[in-house]
Amino acid sequence: MDSITPEVANHVLFHYGRGGYQAGSFTEQIIKAIDMADPANRDKLALGFPGYVAAVVAIQYDPDGVTNLQGIAQGEVAA
């Protein structure tokens, strides 16, 4: 989770209805694309948006992902 900033964490949490705050329309579309992407396309998106991909992967696949992202969003956990 090295590249996840508090802003990124908040945007991804909001997208998944777990708190945070809404991103701008372009960023929302990026998060949606990452959310829907297969692994090969997600890897391509990671080239331009590594923090967002890391955050989406964390919330989708890590059992502690929501908790970790909430900590990053609140500045309690270093990314």
Torsion of Cα atoms, 28 then 10 then 22 then 50, to 10°:
-20
DSSP 27: H
Show the tokens assigned to 18. Answer: 């777990």
pLDDT of residue 73: 97
Residue 78's pLDDT is what? 67
Residue 79: predicted pLDDT: 60
Residue 18: pLDDT band by 50, 70, 90 thresholds?
A: very high
Torsion sign over Cα 9, 13, 18, 22:
positive
Stretch 54-77: mean pLDDT: 95
User: What pLDDT is attached to residue 76?
Assistant: 85
% of the chain with per-residue pLDDT over 90: 90
